[in-house]
Structure formats: structure tokens, C-alpha cells
Amino acid sequence: MGSTRILNTQLLERVMSAEDAAKLIRPDMTVAMSGFTGAGYPKAVPAALARHIEETHARGEDFRIRVLTGASTAPELDGALARVDGIQMRLPYQSDPTLREQINAGRIDYLDIHLSHVAQHAWFGFFGKIDIAIIEVSGVTPDGQLIPSTSVGNNKTWIEQAAGVIIEVNEQQPEGLDGMHDIYYGTALPPRRRPIPLVHPADRIGEPWLHCPPEKVIAVVKTNAPDRSNAFSEPDEVSQQIAGHLIEFLRHEVRHGRVPASLLPLQSGVGNITNAVLAELGKGAFQNLTAFTEVIQDGMLDLLENGTLSVASATALSLSPAAVTRFAQNLGTFRERIILRPQEISNHPELVRRLGCIAMNGMIEADIYGNVNSTHVMGTRIQNGIGGSGDFARNGYLSCFMSASTAKGGAISRIVPMASHVDHTEHDVAVIVTEQGLADLRGLSPKQRACEVIKHCAHPDYRPMLMDYFERASRESYGKHTPHLLNESLSWHQRYVEQGTMRDPKWP
Amino acid sequence: MGSTRILNTQLLERVMSAEDAAKLIRPDMTVAMSGFTGAGYPKAVPAALARHIEETHARGEDFRIRVLTGASTAPELDGALARVDGIQMRLPYQSDPTLREQINAGRIDYLDIHLSHVAQHAWFGFFGKIDIAIIEVSGVTPDGQLIPSTSVGNNKTWIEQAAGVIIEVNEQQPEGLDGMHDIYYGTALPPRRRPIPLVHPADRIGEPWLHCPPEKVIAVVKTNAPDRSNAFSEPDEVSQQIAGHLIEFLRHEVRHGRVPASLLPLQSGVGNITNAVLAELGKGAFQNLTAFTEVIQDGMLDLLENGTLSVASATALSLSPAAVTRFAQNLGTFRERIILRPQEISNHPELVRRLGCIAMNGMIEADIYGNVNSTHVMGTRIQNGIGGSGDFARNGYLSCFMSASTAKGGAISRIVPMASHVDHTEHDVAVIVTEQGLADLRGLSPKQRACEVIKHCAHPDYRPMLMDYFERASRESYGKHTPHLLNESLSWHQRYVEQGTMRDPKWP
């Protein structure tokens, strides 16, 4: 039973198989798991639990649990549990196809919560009692401290709040992770909260390890498996155009003296477009940038290596297999330039406001008045979730939302008369970018915004339809502050649902 | 030219008539004014400017200005300027009937901005150059410091940002105001921001006076006029029922140990319902509460006098004439228990999150999934604006939105299938209250929320219609995470616009 990663004898005594650990979980329990964007999630116990649930269901018995995480995980967790119909409730962010299908079939209660809110809502008691936490770590110190894995997420809170803790020690996670984390133990419930003493993304304000009373640990499971992160495709032309518009805009901000030459700390959402933006940033126009963000993806490694980025603060290191190898090869550089924090700190409104982050996130659609839908396809089908976009969009210096102007081969316009769901209100959206161009909405009234969005962001195929709607609404609307024709405002979405396209046959 | 309120000789030399001061303002200028919810707005120059604009228009010349304020002002400012068609652009919050009419007629560009964002957006340069600030103060010290009036609002920023400053010294504002203000001069632009050292609503972190370089002062105008604040009507039955539900809920939170017996700092929006909540709070169930809010209204004076509230921090003191008299009579008590701050501090996300405010705001409507519309009647007509509700709803401990369940004698349901405009997203709304009851949405998925909102908040006349919509949507919706029938979701609003009622003739 020896282990080079579990150096505490008390915890070494709790080592058991994933199957035995999974049997500690019973129906209707609330189980909080590690994991953030495919990094640092438990690899063995959820899969063993899924098998256990499947067997129980086969006997005709009910077995579903409530699952709390940091953010999205991987097929071995969300996918495996959803496939056996084992999830009753899930929060706060997901991106698994099977889980998504079940949520949209109406079979799972999904709570889509600002990532900065999750830990405090757990502390406030809004999610009820947490029975068991399952936390992946990369090692255990001789005195029982937990060396975090590739994500921190809500692990500090889950460990503190859960009645019992199952530890997965993953020997495949780089030993060099030790020392990269900064776990801040200074949070509290109001009225005992104090200022968080972070004034630069590089500041270390906490400790490298997670504390867990040994008596709370009900099982330790050894694993040896990689994070399941997808490689990004090379940026396509549309993503490159979007990135180009945004970079030109940032240079314009610097020229006007509104931000320093090294910009302000960057927050970058997950996806191909934001990855293209990172690639474009690395082409030499900027130096000594900083990132205060949620996830460090492949694209950021390049920027850290070539000096475009001097430091990146995040809560997860979500790398493709190739990038994992590079990370290990150049560990010295990355250890100095990467800090992984709890997500309540990486996304904290106090810090996002103080640092003045530049928020860059994808979107599902925007309407002509600047309301952004980040979560619901056609207003009703959840895609992933709001993630941290709201934490950064409202509190940062600038909120930028990006998307191709169309989807499904042109059948969907991402610029619509009225957003079918609103995650970011007109009060929170500064810049909208598509491959067509960039609309700078700062200091504009709703009707001024509409002109900019239609002119700069809409696809030419949809521009006349949008302008026609806007002009008729401006004449006929009940109120003319934010003109709408309410019996038509969501008709594009309805047409897509019924006919598979937003295109109006009346238009050529 | 002597004055007991203007003790600085340099500024005394700049005293002139309101008419002469108004002539310093030219067409297309951006003019930033003091004033927050009818308190501390300039009393003479805007009215003189309106006359000047009217004369200019009579000569066939154009004259409109861009008007920035703290929040709503009064008929002498917004009303007078709107009446003569003198406003081109207005931000960030208003409640004047004439101005509202012009905005909804499409003639004024109105920017509805989170109140905590205004100062920083001005500093970021998002509103362009500010030509002139017109600031009401209650006095000038011998060395030229400005003793603020009944509101602080954005005055610090307007003075710093404007090219020239017109001071109105209002001799009718109580001299006892001197010393009640706390002007924090520690804000900065990123990347130079530091933690704001406030950990309790009673903390004083700044200075009592506003600084203004004397050479910037282009005019000083003496005035002698009261703030125009309306008296509140006695709470009606509906408001009392809403207040009763909310107070019962707060007691429930205390019983469950989620908040201390003295609660957490209260934020209370403006209006009859929130005033009823304050009245109900004063009936003895609570002691030693604190307020960290925007406006101190009549209701809070009672609570400060009887010990229910130990301290109230705000940016404006908006009192009815009767309350002004009471305030003056008991100045000693109030001076110790009231602190007036700049609105970037009263509404600062860092502080709202740290203190864990309990946010209580009115609304125009909520949908069954918990999205709240605070600003647009029937999705298109602006009512007032978002004010500070977003600052508090997203960042506080709890966000509560309140309204009667119906309006216009029952022709409008305040609970609708889909909000016609979204100011507070599903991610930001914890509690919805009507006279029918209270829906606690914490920890619930969209469909669970719908059941609670329909059951507890909807008026019985509309409950079957809402349940019918929800049930059909749950069967027929494209996605079943947030079920909607898109060709029907806004039909209630459309019916009201066309037929004057949301009631469906199909229903009995």
C-alpha cells in the first residue's frame, strides 16, 4: 500500500478501491466534486458510482444524487452519471452532451449560477447540507495537507462544508504543481468579511495547500489518469477576423490613453474564438500583459513563454495532451508565472472591479439593443451555462462578447431583434464583436446601440431584416425608448424552431 | 455681497445671478449636475438655463445639452429642461414625468446605467469631456472647501472631471449637515486601485468636504429653496401585506441561523412598498439593524430614532417637508447615525459583497422563471431606470424584488410568462414578493422556480393562465430547461398594448 504521493500515514490507512469508496454514497445524497473545465475532476469514484447506480436501477430501486462541482468536468463524471440517470440536481456549469440532453429533456434540475456565487451560497446554506465531497489532489504531505490538482474550483469550500471527504490522489498529475496554488483562507461570512488583500494578478495571498481534518476523510483512492481536455482546432478564418477586430479595438483604447500599453488584466472565456484572440495577442503587438481569469488554456502557454503574458492567475489549468507535455518540459517558467486560486477568488467581484479586468467571452446571441444571451439556444435549451461571464462582465473595465454573426450555415443569425434569454443586460455589455466588425456600445442609448450593432455586427444577409424591424419598431412601438414589436420580437427564433431557419421567405 | 455660508473670499468674488451663470452654458455642452432622488440638486441655474434655452429656441436656434446627474432630480431641473426641449442626452436615472414622456417619444437619448458604474465610466472617458458641473452645496469653508448638501451622488467626480464648476450655495439646507458626509478620496483608475477600507456601514473612511480648486469655479450662485421631496402616503393594505411577508421571511432567516439577529446591512429602494417594509421593521421585531443603502427616506428616520437602526449609510437624504423639520429638531441624534457618501461608494460592488447587504427593491414585473424587469413598461417604455438595484442584487447576500401582483385595477399581471425586458437575470434574483406571498427561489432550477412564483406570487385571477402556459410550455417547448412557447411568451404584453388588459377573453 505504499505511495510516493500519499505521505501521511493516517490517510494512507484509508486507501481503498474506487468501488468501495463509491459505496459510501447513497441515494439522494448531495455530493460535491472537484473539477473545473475538464481539469482536476475525480477520475475513478464517479465512474464506479455510475456502475453502482446502474446496478441499483437494474434491481428496480431509485438512486439519484445531487451533484455540485466547480464548473464543467468530463465524460467520466458528468457523462457517466447522466448516462445512468444518476443525477437529480446539478450545479453550477456543465458542458457534457449527455448531461445537456437530459437537462433539456426536463429530467434534471440544473442550477446555472455565477461561478463567484457558488462558494458563498454553499456557506449561506442555500444548497442544503453537503454529504460527501470527492476531491482530486496531486498529493498528500506528511502532515496530511492536500496538494491541489490542476484545478482548485470550489474544493476549499466542499472540503469545509461536506460531512465526509473522499480523496482521489492522481499520480499522473505533475508533481511540479506543488507550490503553484494560492488558497486564500481569509474569506468569511458577513458581517465578518474583510478586504481581500490582492492588488495585482501576481499577488500571492494564501497558502499552497488545502487543509482537511484527517478525521473527515472517509476514503482515499489512488488514480493514474490524465485530465480529458480537448485540443483546440487551429483558429478558423471567422475566429481570426473576430480576434483581429478585438485586437484593433484594444490598440485603439491604448492610443486614446484609456488603458496602459500593457492593457488591464485579461479574462478570457473558454472556446475557439477566445483562443484565437489569445493567438492574435501573441503576435507581438503587446508585451507584459497579465491575465486574471478562470481557465488557462493552451493559448495562454504560448503567451507565457514568449513574454506577451507576464503572469496568469486562474482557477484551472485546462490543457490539451500536447500542452500537458509542453507544460511539464518547461515547468520552471510556468511555475513562476501561473497561480491557481479558488474560484471564489479568481472570479471575485471585489477583485474583478479593483483590477479592472478586460472581459472577453463568447455568446449565443445578442440583440440589437445589446442584451446578451450566453446560455439558452432559442430561449429554452441550455447550452452550457453562464459560468463566470457575469462576474467579469459587470465588474470589470470592459465587457466584450464575441460570436460568429451566423450559425448553422447561415440559418441562425446571432444578432436578433430581441434576445430570447438574457444573461447580460443592456447595462452590462460594452462591446459586441462578430467577424463582420465591432460595435462599441459605451455611452450610447438603446437606439444608438441598435444602429451600431446592425451596422457593424450583423451578417449582410440579415442586416436588411434587422434594419426593417428596427425602423418599423421605432415608428410603431408602444414606447420608443427601446422600440419593439412584441408580436414579432421573438418570431425569428420561432421560425427557426418550426422551419429550421431564421430567414424570412419574404426577404430575397 | 456678504454671506454667512460662503466664507471664502475668492469664491465670494465669483457670486453672480443664476441668469448670468446659466449664460456660461452653451449648446451641445455636457453638463454634470448634483442631485440624487430629489435631494441636493441645483435649484436656480437649471431653471435659468431653461429660460435661456427657450428664448434661444424662440429665435429659431438650436440649444440642447447633455445632462449627467447622480440620479433623479426634480421638476426645477429635469422637468424644466425637458419642457423646453433642452436635453439631448441624459444619464443615469430619472423619474420626471415630462422627461420620461420625451424619452418614450424617442426624442432624448437616455442611458440607463448601474449607479455604481457612473463615476468610473466618467473617469474611463466613456461619456466624453464634461464641460461644466453645477453642484449644490450647503456652504463654503474659509479655505474654499465645499460643504456638501443633502446628497453627494457623483459630485466628487463631476467637480474633478468638469472643465468649469458652478457652485450653488443653498442657505436653506441645514447647517447641521456639516460633518455628516464622508467623501472617500482613495478611488483610482486601474491598475492603481487599492482595497476600500470599509468593513462596517458606520465606518468613516474619508473627509467631510469636497475639494475644488478655486480657479475651476466659474460662478457661485446663492439660493434659498427646499429640496422637492414628496411625502409618502401611509402604507396601503397591499404594501403592508408585502412588507409582512418579507419581514416574516427575514425572521425565518434569523431562526435558521443564516443571518444574525441584527440581520445584515439593509439596502432599501425608493417607493411606497419599501417604505412600508421600513415601517414594519420598526414595530419591534428587530433592534440594532444597519443600513448600507442609497437613499435615506422618511421611514428610516423613525427607525434611527427608535433604535431599530443604529446607523444608516447612504448617498442622499431625501426627506418630505415634515421629515425635514423633524430632522432639524433632532439633529444631534441623526448626525451621529447618518453618513452620506459618494454613490460610487454607497453602491460599490466591493462593499456590497463584503457587507452582505440584504437588497430590497421594487420591480415592474417578474416572470415565472425569476427574471425581473425593473425599467420597461411593456418592454419598451422606460419608467425610471435600474438605479442601484443591480449593484445590490448581484453582489449582496440576498436580492428581494417586490411588487403588487397586479396593476391598473387588475388589467396588468406583474407576474408574466416572460419578462418583456430583463434587468435582473435568473442568476441574480433570490426572492420575489407580492401581496399574495413570497417565493424563495434560492437553490431552485427554472421549473422549480416557476412553480413557486405561480403558487406564491401570482394573483389568483392570473394563476390559472400562468399554470396553463407553464404546463403547455413544459410539454411543447423546444428545450425543456426553461420551457417557453415563443409565439405566446410576450402575448400578454401585446394584448395589454392592443386591448388595455392582459386578461385573456378565453379565460373566465
| Residue in A closest to B444 by C-alpha | A111
Of the candidates B112, B427, B478, the beta carbon closest to that of A380 is on: B478
Domain boundary assignment for chain A: 9-223, 237-459
| Segment B435-464 mean pLDDT | 98
Rounded to the nearest 5 percent, the helix, strand and coil shares of chain B are 35, 20, 45
Q: Do B494 and A487 touch (CB under 8 A)?
A: yes
d(CA B334, CA B339) in angstroms, rounded, equals 9
Interface residue B371 vs chain A (CB under 8 A): yes
d(CA A54, CA A88) in angstroms, rounded, equals 14
| Segment A278-299 mean pLDDT | 93
**In B282-413, which ranges are continuous DSSP H helix?**
298-306, 321-329, 331-337, 343-346, 349-355, 389-395
Q: A272-281 and A298-306 are packed helices; what angle lies between their axes, rounded to 10 degrees? A: 10
Task: State pTM to two decimals.
Answer: 0.98
| Residue in A closest to B128 by C-alpha | A443
pLDDT above 50 (res B2) = yes
| Segment A370-393 mean pLDDT | 97
CA atoms within 13 A on the CB side of A276: 24
* Chain A CB contacts of B349 below 8 Å: 349-350, 353, 394-395
Interface residue B495 vs chain A (CB under 8 A): no
Q: Phi, psi (5° rounding) for residue A369? A: -95, 0
* Chain B CB contacts of A117 below 8 Å: 427
Q: Note whether A74 and A226 are within 8 A (CB).
A: no
The reported pLDDT for the residue numbered B100 is 98
Q: Do B397 and A190 touch (CB under 8 A)?
A: yes
d(CA A287, CA A281) in angstroms, rounded, equals 9
CATH number of A9-223: 3.40.1080.10
Of 3.40.1130.10, 3.40.50.300, 3.40.1080.10, 3.40.190.10, the CATH number of A237-459 is 3.40.1080.10
Residue type, B297: Q
pLDDT band for position A284 (cuts 50, 70, 90): confident
Between residues 88 and 107 of chain A, which touch chain B (CB distance below 8 Å)?
89, 103-106
pLDDT band for position A268 (cuts 50, 70, 90): very high
Between residues 290 and 349 of chain B, which touch chain A (CB distance below 8 Å)?
348-349
Q: How far is CA A404 from CA A97, A181, A426, B148, B430, in A?
A: 22, 35, 20, 50, 34
Q: Do A355 and B193 touch (CB under 8 A)?
A: yes
Of the candidates B103, B114, B380, the beta carbon closest to that of A427 is on: B114
Q: Do B425 and A420 touch (CB under 8 A)?
A: no
CA distance A408 to chain B (A): 17
Per residue in A242-263, pLDDT (tens digit) is 999 999 999 999 999 999 999 9
Q: Do B394 and A397 touch (CB under 8 A)?
A: no
Farthest-apart Cα atoms in chain A, separation:
77
What is the per-residue burial (b if ≥16 Cβ within 10 Å, else e) of B287-321? eebbbbbbbbbbbbbbbbeeebbbbbbbbbbbbbe
Interface residue B490 vs chain A (CB under 8 A): yes
Q: Note whether B353 and A350 are within 8 A (CB).
A: yes
The reported pLDDT for the residue numbered A321 is 87
Q: Note whether B440 and B452 are within 8 A (CB).
A: yes
Out of A76, A160, A280, A294, pick the active-site residue.
Answer: A294
**Strand spans (E) along B341-452:** 358-362, 365-367, 372-373, 376-377, 381-382, 398-402, 406-407, 412-413, 415-416, 431-434, 437-440
Of the candidates B194, B479, B487, the beta carbon closest to that of A199 is on: B194
pLDDT above 50 (res A278) = yes
Tell me the average pLDDT of chain B: 96
* Chain A CB contacts of B386 below 8 Å: 425, 427
Of the candidates B104, B109, B349, the beta carbon closest to that of A353 is on: B349
Residue pointed to by grid coordinates 503567451: A303
Interface residue B23 vs chain A (CB under 8 A): no
The reported pLDDT for the residue numbered B1 is 45
pLDDT above 90 (res B232) = no
- A34: cell is 472537484
pLDDT above 60 (res A2) = no
pLDDT above 60 (res A1) = no
Q: Do A258 and B380 touch (CB under 8 A)?
A: no
CA distance B273 to chain A (A): 25
| Interface with chain A: mutation pick from B486, B490, B499, highest number of A CBs within 10 Å | B486
Q: Do B111 and A350 touch (CB under 8 A)?
A: no
* Chain B CB contacts of A258 below 8 Å: 124-125
Out of B294, B365, B435, B452, pick the active-site residue.
Answer: B294
* Chain A CB contacts of B348 below 8 Å: 353
Q: Do B481 and A353 touch (CB under 8 A)?
A: no
| Interface with chain B: mutation pick from A427, A449, A469, A491, highest number of B CBs within 10 Å | A427
Per residue in B156-181, pLDDT (tens digit) is 999 999 999 999 999 999 999 999 99
Q: A463-476 and A446-456 are packed helices; what angle lies between their axes, rounded to 10 degrees? A: 160
Residue type, A318: S
- B193: cell is 486601485
Residue pointed to by grid coordinates 483608475: B189
Q: How far is CA B70 from CA B81, B157, B241, B365, in A?
A: 16, 10, 32, 25
- A145: cell is 495537507
Per residue in B463-503, pLDDT (tens digit) is 999 999 999 999 999 999 999 999 999 999 999 999 999 99
In degrees, rounded to 5, the angle at the alpha carbon of residue A45 between the alpha carbons of residues A44 and A48 is 90
Interface residue B456 vs chain A (CB under 8 A): no
Q: Note whether A313 and A346 are within 8 A (CB).
A: yes
User: Would B9-223 and B237-459 be classified into the same CATH topology?
Assistant: yes
Residue pointed to by grid coordinates 456652504: B139
Predicted complex ipTM: 0.97
- B198: cell is 470599509
Number of Cβ atoms within 10 Å of the Cβ of A164: 17
Q: Note whether A389 and A112 are within 8 A (CB).
A: no
Q: Note whether B226 and B323 are within 8 A (CB).
A: no
Number of Cβ atoms within 10 Å of the Cβ of B199: 17
Interface residue B350 vs chain A (CB under 8 A): yes
Per residue in A107-131, pLDDT (tens digit) is 999 999 999 999 999 999 999 999 9
Number of Cβ atoms within 10 Å of the Cβ of B3: 16
Tell me the average pLDDT of chain A: 96
Interface residue A486 vs chain B (CB under 8 A): yes
d(CA B459, CA B100) in angstroms, rounded, equals 29
Contacts of B464 (CB under 8 A, 6+ apart): B507
pLDDT above 50 (res B236) = yes
What is the per-residue burial (b if ≥16 Cβ within 10 Å, else e) of B477-506? bbbbbbbbbbebbbbbbbbbbeeebbbeee
The reported pLDDT for the residue numbered B254 is 96
The reported pLDDT for the residue numbered A3 is 77
| Segment A468-484 mean pLDDT | 98
Is residue B294 among the annotated active site residues?
yes
Q: Phi, psi (5° rounding) for residue A333? A: -60, -50
Nearest to residue A428, comparing CAs of B445, B502, B298, B117? B117
Of the candidates B124, B256, B354, the beta carbon closest to that of A193 is on: B354
Of the candidates B110, B121, B191, the beta carbon closest to that of A355 is on: B191
d(CA B427, CA B138) in angstroms, rounded, equals 42
Per residue in A166-201, pLDDT (tens digit) is 999 999 999 999 999 999 999 999 999 999 999 999
CA distance A106 to chain B (A): 5
Cβ-Cβ pairs closer than 8 A, A with B, add up to 247
